[in-house]
Structure 1
Amino acid sequence: MSTQSTASGVWGGSLGAVTVPARMRATMLRRSLREHPGPTVAGLVGLLAAAWLIRYALNGDQHTLGLLAGAWVLGWIVLPLLLGGGRGRVRPAHLRLEPIGGAPAAIGLLAASAIGVGPAVSLVALAALPVHAARYGTVAVLVTACGAVLLWLLGLIGSAIALEVVGHAGGPAGALLTGVFTGTAMGVAGSLWAVFPWVSVLLVAAPQDVVRAMEYVPSGWPVTAVAGPTGQGVGLMAALMGIVALCAAAYIMLVRRVIATGVPFRPRRTTAASATTAQREWPGWVPAATRAVVGREVRSWTRHPLRVQYLAFAVVYGALLAGLPLLSDVDLLLPWAGTLAVLGAAAMSAGLVGLDGTALWLPFTTPGGERAEVRGRALAWLVLVTPIGVLLTVVGIVLAPGVDPLAALSTLPALLGAGASVPVWVSLLRVRPVADPRHPTAADNPTDIVSVLVATAAGLLAAGPVLALMIWGPPAAAPLLPVVGLLSGVATWWGGLWLADERLAQRGTTVLAVAGQRSRPPEAALPLTWDAQWYRENTSTAWALGLLTLGWIPVIPQGLMPLAFGIDSGWIVAGHLSGSAHTAVGLAMVGLGVAMLLTGLVLWDRRPQPGSRAPSLPPT
């Protein structure tokens, strides 16, 4: 009798311990829904998307449905990492003081993770699979429903593992995923003209390449299991169950380790020998102080969350801008993948000084430290970005053998020279401090649109001689393109370094004072409706907004389209002319647009900042 009561007590205690995380999560979710409308709004949007997926399942393509279901599960795993989904979550470390084993703790944590808006909406969305299988009979609906539940468990466990591992891996892992996600979103948005035709084809009927690929994607197995032979269906469902079981076992091991040690893995420690490797590998003509800055910057680029995010964004964005047009059988941009990535990396590097905080005092305490600081930052950028640009360019050339790569190869050194030096100067010119440089977040992005535009314009200016010689030069001058690109890169390299040297040497104390601020001055509020009084008091801001908005019209549609692409629509002024007049009007339009944009940038930079107590950089 006592044995039975002891066993029932142990079982009851384990069951009670399992339900603790679920009760904790339910309480936090209740309070969150009362205080913040965000989860409710996100849930409504998710339900609309789930309703569209179910509607598509009624008459849509089987393989496309599997692809969409897989994208949904993958988004469930990745999006919480980007949107702060770990907040309000019960974590294994919260159970370290509870008398509970690894398996019961994992079950309780998964039960807690299942309580929320996201899991509920995902379960509704995956109901599209049995809805599609209704055409095959009742047994098919039951089998596909089991498959949908397995996919739901796969997303639930995968999201829990990702949040725990990436959360403890520190900022760089999450920043890498954020950079990849944002780069993908921006790359797709920049290539909608190439993506839309492919999406329309995919929604009607998946191409044969997609059909063959879906044989290896678990999200397509539940429907394939009921649509194909019985033996194949049994094997696919068993394989899906095996994947879920392996993920569950991995999560149990992860929970056990966290409960025992507090962290899912031991962080890798950097030895003193590896820390000085970057300094020893540089040739002797590079000063020791510069080598030290290079080593520091290289390590910062590989460890700092925002820097990792910037680099990942630039690589993914450049690769997609050049590669997505292949969906519409356009391979002209493939050799330009490296140059686009280099240009993106330069633009995203235009505010890095703001991440350093008061650590900027170090160059001022070293003889020649200002010069070493500038050159070390530029060389470190070259060390990291040059291999990326060259690799993407070579891959693009290999994938597009019919496209002449001379222009892309000639433009690459010009963009590298400008991207390495000019952003250092821009970053010193427009310092944007972060609240806490030791623990930066995505909200602490120190790069503003003005810095990005100036760094991008510098790269385009450096590539200008190459592009001008390619478009308007005689065919016999084609062999000179690499030389022109190299000379342009060297010129912009030394020009950017000279400007940065002067800025840091002459205004170093001012730059240090601004970088050490813990809060940014409030931005001038812009009225959402017409306010004559505001416009009278902020005339320069109103003019800046107008010039920055309208300045792109002369540059792109009135200038670059007729000059570079030969587009001469009726509303394009140069289209009504021919010969030298056509070229002259196009160039004049580009010059007019650039002048408008520069004037707008100057006025925007000098707009009033109400309530600002932080020292601002003096005009240059």
Structure 2
Amino acid sequence: MAVGLTYATSQTLVRMRLAAFRHALKDQNRLSWIGTGAFAGVVLAGGTIWVAAKGDLDVLVVALAVWMLGWIVGPMFAGGGDETLKPEYFSMLPLTPRTLSAGLLTAALAGVAPIISLLALLSLVVLGTQLSVAATLIALPAVVLQLLCFVLASRLAVAVYGVLLQVRSGAVLAAIVNAFILAFTAQGWALIVAFVSTDVQGTMASGARVAPSGWGLVAVEAAGRGDWLRVLLALAGLAVLAVVMFVGWSALLVRRTTASRTGRKPRRLLTATGPRDAAAAKEIRSWTRDLLYGHRAVFAISYGLFFCLMPLAIGWKGMLPWAGPAALVMAGSMASNLYGSDGTALWTTLMTPGSAGPDVRARQRAFLLVFGPPTLLITLLLTWWSGSSSAWPLVLSVLPALLGGAAGLVVACSVFAAVPTTDAHKRSGNPLNSGENESETMGIVWVMLILVSLTAGPALGAALAWSWWGVAVGVASGVLAWWYLGRLAAVRLDQRGPELLTLLRHGRSTTEQAKKAAVLDQLPRWRRTLANYCLGFGAIPLFPQAVVPAVFILTNNTDTKSWFLALHLEPQWHWPVIIAMAVLGLSMYTYGGLTYLNAKKKVAASST
């Protein structure tokens, strides 16, 4: 009876999941994101199979570890993963936790990501065919168990992360861990070089074989040489791990769907005497009391620290002065949807006459108070620690420019390009999931990373050209950006506040969706895909391959070459390569932006 109910539940949830996926494909924007991700995944899966065909087992086991790490970490940076079917939807149904968990797990396997991971895991079968018939047969259950562990590890990680975000200390811990993982993807090379002396690949491969992601490969290898005890231990280990993760996930789902969330009595009432002070106090308390706000603040600062401290592992202090600016860039991108995070609570502001200006300035003041002091302290201490006298005018010029630029951009972006999210009082047990517009939210975050970085351009150029005069330029540009962008946001909120509230309450109207679809219909699919690639990957040649090595060369920090192409070449080729990369990055952004701008103009012209 129980087995039949579980099967019927799983079948129903799979049909629901596939129906939702077919509906998502009707949205051209989401279709583009899905297609881009699927293409990249297939390419990576093909590379994994190619490594297996070559018989390079050390590289293969490390690649499988990266796949499993992507399953665990990826959802934390993509709004909690795909939760089309939320557990809360089924809390009133007479289903046991195990039945519901089994159904949700089965539905989770019916997606693009599991199929691509299955393609990558077929590398075990390719490896088995090179060893023996027995190894090929063992590879089949190993692939199934390994894929099951991938998906369960992802679900369990998101569930644990959601529990941590329910309490302040957990939100802080989760932010620090998240920041370390993201920084490691960019700067982990330093830790690897430091702690692995000569045999980098061999040592990483040994560690990857011990990790659960390598147990399937261990079973296939052991079957190839006839070590059946090791085969049994590896496969049994995967099966037991899957069961343990399934039981743990089921328990957390029960907690998520049954835990009551009661309000708390305010610890201290607002004592402001005017609208400006009241709005500022309210915003400060949002950053200190809303766990998601606090999580993002800690994440931004921790990321800046980890990103610039990791090279210390190899004794390189050149990145230390830039921890504060890096934290500000990340903070600006994480706070790019302030009004969208408010949701329908915006009506309390709109119902108060003349509140648009004070509210916008209050959000800017709160941003400055939350991120200004810590980033300034970090910059002063780490620049002093680095011992680089040439870095002082650079970082002290860039810091005020970024601080003012970010404070202006966060309010302007959140008013002009707000993305509807789930209201705070309606958040599910997975705080990472903020609604149905995750791809749009992530797009705004990536754009803000670029825009906030660009606000430091005049100050950095002035500091490189005139040294300490760059500080004055940085302060002036920061103040100008803070004032002008804040004024634009206040005027927009005052004039179009009701439309913004409607957007946050009901989502985009049918007319807006039709206009958006019309813009996309103006473009051939190949051109739209190319424009998306240009906008998505233009930052790679522009920043890490042009801006960063240019700063390193100008500050005489060329010892650590990392993945900066120009620094691996002869000195006479440094600047030509940097200029070429900068032109390439700017050209990619120009092409992508003009493609959509021209399509939008054609739609506007045809409608008139």
TM-score (norm 1): 0.59
1:97 aligned to 90, 93, 105, which one? 93
Q: Which amino acid aligns with 1:380?
A: A
Q: Which is greater in Rg? A: 1
Number of matched residues? 521
> For structure 1, which segment, 52-61 or 228-237, has the greater mean C-alpha deviation from structure 2 after superposition?
228-237
For 1:335, give the aligned amino acid.
Answer: P
Whether 1:19 and 2:7 are equivalent positions in the alignment is yes
**Pick from 292, 295, 313: which aligns with 1:303?**
292
CA distance in 2, matches of 1:32, 1:370: 38
Deviates more, 1:52-61 or 1:230-239: 230-239
Q: Tell me which residue corresponds to 1:271.
A: 264
Q: 1:226-263 CA distances to partner (integer Å, 9 max, x unpaired)? A: 569998877666654543332122134345x26xxx71
String of CA shifts for 1:459-483, please: whole Å, max 9, x gaps. Answer: 434555544443xx7xxxxxxx9xx
Distance 1:150 1:206, change over 3 A: farther
Describe the SS at the equivalent of 2:257. coil
240-249 or 325-334, larger mean C-alpha shift: 325-334
Measure the CA separation in 2 of the matches of 1:449 and 1:22: 36
Residue matched to 2:243: 245
Are the aligned partners of 2:79 and 2:438 in contact in 1 as well (CA < 8 Å)?
no
Matching residue's letter, 2:90: H
Structure 1 counterpart of 2:213, from 208, 219, 222: 219
Counterparts of residues 468-487 of structure 1 (less than 5 Å):
468-470=465-467, 485=471
Specify which structure has the bigger relative contact order, considering alpha-carbon pairs within 8 angstroms and separated by 6 or more residues: 2
Aligned match for 1:345, one of 301, 318, 331: 331
Cα gap change, 1:210/1:393 in structure 2, threshold over 3 Å: closer, same or farther?
farther
User: What displacement does 1:131 show?
Assistant: 3.9
Corresponding letter in the other structure for 2:246: A
Rounded Cα–Cα distance in structure 2 between residues aligned with 1:458 and 1:105: 49
CA deviation profile, 1:147-167 (whole Å, cap 9, x unmatched): 444322212323444566778
- Whole-Å Cα distance in 2 between the matches of residues 358 and 105 of structure 1? 32
How do residues 14-413 of structure 1 correspond to structure 2 at under 5 angstroms?
A: 14-28=2-16, 36=25, 49-76=44-71, 82=78, 86=82, 89=85, 91=87, 94=90, 96-98=92-94, 101-115=96-110, 118-129=113-124, 131-132=126-127, 147-161=142-156, 207-211=201-205, 213-214=207-208, 216-224=210-218, 226=221, 240-254=238-252, 257=254, 263=257, 265-267=259-261, 269=262, 271-274=264-267, 288-289=277-278, 291-298=280-287, 302-303=291-292, 332-346=318-332, 349=335, 352-353=338-339, 372-386=358-372, 389=375, 406-407=392-393, 409-411=395-397, 413=399
Please give the alpha-carbon distance, in whole angstroms, between the structure 2 residues aligned to 1:403 and 1:215: 46
Aligned to 1:68, the other structure's residue is in SS state: helix
Distance in 2 between the 1:490 and 1:467 partners? Answer: 16
Any idea what the Cα deviations from partners look like across 1:266-310, whole Å, max 9, x if unmatched?
44x56234575xx79x9x999842552333441587436xx977x
SS in 2 for 1:207: helix
Change (3 A) 1:141 1:406: farther
Q: Distance in 1 between matches of 2:439 and 2:116?
A: 28
> Counterpart of 1:15 in structure 2: which amino acid?
V
Residue 455 to residue 361, structure 1, CA distance change in 2 (3 Å): farther
Aligned-partner Cα distance in 2 for 1:41–1:508? 35
Q: Deviations over 1:428-487 (max 9, x none)?
A: 9x73355578476335649599988775444434555544443xx7xxxxxxx9xx74x6
Compute the TM-score of the two structures, normalised by the length of structure 2.
0.60
Alpha-carbon shift at residue 128 of structure 1 (Å): 2.2
Conserved 8 A contact 1:297-1:377? no
Offset at residue 387 of structure 1 (A): 6.6
**Is the contact made by 1:338 and 1:393 (CA closer than 8 Å) also made in structure 2?**
yes
| Equivalence map 1:519-530=2 (5 Å) | 519=508, 522=515, 525=519
The alpha-carbon deviation at position 418 of structure 1 amounts to 1.7
Is the contact made by 2:397 and 2:463 (CA closer than 8 Å) also made in structure 1? yes
Give CA deviations for 1:120-148 in whole Å, capped at 9, x if unaligned.
55344323235435666566666665544
AA in 2 matched with 1:94:
F
For residues 463 and 274 of structure 2, the distance between their equivalents in structure 1, rounded to whole angstroms, comes to 31
- Give 2:278's aligned amino acid: A
SS at match of 2:416: coil
Give the match for residue 423 of structure 1.
Answer: 409
- Between the aligned partners of 1:372 and 1:302, the Cα distance in structure 2 is 24
**d(CA) in 2 for partners of 1:328, 1:432:** 42
Q: In structure 1, how many angstroms separate the alpha carbons of the residues matched to 2:354 and 2:491?
A: 13
* Cα distance change of structure 1 residues 179 and 495 upon mapping to structure 2, 3 Å threshold: same
TM superposition shift of 1:21:
1.9
CA distance in 1, matches of 2:45, 2:79: 20
RMSD: 6.4
What SS is found at the alignment partner of 1:272?
coil
Q: Counterparts of 1:440-451 in structure 2 under 5 Å?
A: 441-442=437-438, 445=441
Letter in 2 for 1:251: W
- Amino acid aligned to 2:332: A
Q: Is the contact between residue 221 and residue 236 of structure 1 (CA under 8 Å) also seen in structure 2? A: yes
What amino acid does structure 2 have at the position aligned with 1:217? Answer: A
Contact 1:295 1:380 in 2 (8 A): yes
Distance 2:229 2:388 in 1: 46
The worse-fitting range, judged by mean Cα deviation, of 561-570 and 339-348 is 561-570
* Cα deviations by residue, 1:200-222 (Å, 9 ceiling, x for unpaired): xx9xx853442454355221244
Q: SS of 1:56's equivalent?
A: helix
| Deviation (angstroms), 1:491 | 5.1
- With 435-444 and 33-42 compared, the bigger mean Cα shift is at 33-42
Q: Partner amino acid for 1:56? A: V
| 1:510 alignment partner in structure 2 | 495
In structure 2, C-alpha distance between the alignment counterparts of 1:363 and 1:433, rounded to whole Å = 16
What is the alpha-carbon distance in structure 1 between the residues aligned to residue 203 and residue 354 of structure 2? 60
How far apart, in 1, do the equivalents of 2:389 and 2:60 lie? 36
* 1:182/1:46 CA distance change after superposition, 3 Å: farther
Cα distance change on mapping 1:212 and 1:468 into 2, 3 Å: farther
Closer/same/farther in 2, CA of residues 136 and 88 from structure 1, 3 Å limit: same
Quick check: 2:416–2:489 contact (8 Å CA) kept in 1?
no
CA contact 1:345–1:419 (8 Å) conserved in 2: no
Tell me, yes or no, if structure 1 residue 460 matches structure 2 residue 448.
no
